[in-house]
């Protein structure tokens, strides 16, 4: 970052800052210099998101194309595709090119393919995914990535936002980074998925999926990037801190995903596909379309244990 970068300033008595988010410069310039052999890429945010054109996900893609899509995922953290009118089987086949797929133990699946989670919202079923989170961080080995396909979308609303958690970590002050680098947090499914379970079923699922500990700051296993890995949906507490300090620190850290400069936003249309690196981003599904219908399906690629 240039030494001439203008400073961020604090506004009045409030804990808000204004001014250029200058630490994004190097990553933004790196992404602007990328070129691709098998598709074109149109970036979205400063350091996150790109729409890829020239790829038909319904086809059995050659290995070099799959490898380049994976590299684009690592670089842009989330990639988008338009006009991909896939069958459920084609959706799963594409996702399998990136690894084994998980079966979600709590969410409704496609009627014929257990690997596809189906999000079918309506006047009777509201959307409760409108909070910043990374998927299944309550697993011992959370997902590598998710591939979400739009089947039916509302006339307006229902966008999904993504936040670059590497940019979030880099934007923390040095003292905060030093504080959180060695910390571990406990992740648990019960805050979200335990709400609808009777006590005996919740106890059964706790046996299958006990709370797990993950580093507050993880290292991306493929890029080596340091990333904030903590969310308020599943992050229960920080190990070794009193409850009030733990809650305050989790809240302060997770609020950094709300900085707009770290984000990109995707407006869905039928046949749109988003593929995000669940290790590197958090996402937020806007729930502003009720009572309209919104139908999506998601395949999730199994990942590794955060370190």
As annotated, the active-site residues are 133, 135, 283, 298
- DSSP H or E segment with residue 295: strand 294-302
Q: Per the structure block, which two tokens stand in for 258?
A: 């709300």
Element (H, E) at 217: strand 217-219
Supply angle C-alpha 305, 90, 83, rounded to 5: 105
104 touches 116 (CB < 8 A):
no
In DSSP notation, 10-50 reads E-TTSS-EES--GGGHHHHHHHHT---SS-EEEE-SSSS-E
Residue with tokens 């950094």: 256
Cis peptide leading into residue 291 (ω within 30°): yes
Alpha carbons 301 and 146: distance in angstroms, whole number: 6
Could you identify the residue written with the tokens 């319904």? 58
User: 């089947």: which residue's tokens?
Assistant: 151
């Amino acid at each position: 970052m240039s030494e001439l970068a203008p400073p961020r300033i604090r506004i009045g008595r409030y804990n808000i800052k204004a001014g250029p988010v200058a630490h994004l410069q190097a990553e933004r310039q790196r992404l602007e210099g990328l070129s691709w052999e098998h598709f074109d890429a149109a970036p979205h945010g400063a350091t996150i998101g790109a729409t890829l054109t020239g790829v038909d996900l319904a086809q059995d893609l050659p290995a070099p194309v799959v490898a380049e899509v994976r590299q684009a995922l690592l670089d842009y953290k989330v990639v988008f595709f338009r006009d991909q009118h896939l069958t459920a089987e084609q959706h799963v086949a594409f996702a399998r090119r990136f690894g084994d797929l998980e079966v979600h133990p709590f969410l409704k699946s496609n009627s014929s393919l257990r690997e596809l989670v189906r999000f079918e919202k309506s006047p009777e079923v509201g959307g409760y995914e409108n909070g910043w989170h990374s998927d299944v961080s309550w697993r011992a080995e959370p997902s590598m990535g998710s591939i979400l396909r739009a089947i039916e979308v509302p006339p307006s609303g229902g966008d999904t936002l993504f936040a670059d958690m590497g940019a979030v970590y880099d934007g923390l002050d040095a003292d905060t980074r030093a504080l959180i680098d060695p910390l571990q947090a406990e992740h648990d499914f019960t805050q979200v998925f335990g709400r609808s379970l009777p006590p005996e079923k919740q106890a059964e699922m706790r046996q299958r999926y006990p709370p797990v500990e993950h580093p507050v700051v993880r290292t991306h296993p493929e890029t080596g990037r340091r990333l904030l890995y903590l969310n308020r949906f599943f992050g229960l507490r920080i190990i070794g801190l009193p409850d009030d300090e733990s809650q305050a620190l989790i809240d302060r850290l997770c609020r950094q995903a709300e900085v707009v400069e770290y984000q990109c936003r995707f407006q869905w249309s039928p046949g749109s596909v988003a593929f995000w690196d669940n290790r590197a981003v958090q996402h937020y599904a806007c729930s502003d379309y009720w009572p309209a219908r919104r139908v999506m399906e998601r395949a999730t690629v199994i990942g590794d244990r955060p370190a």
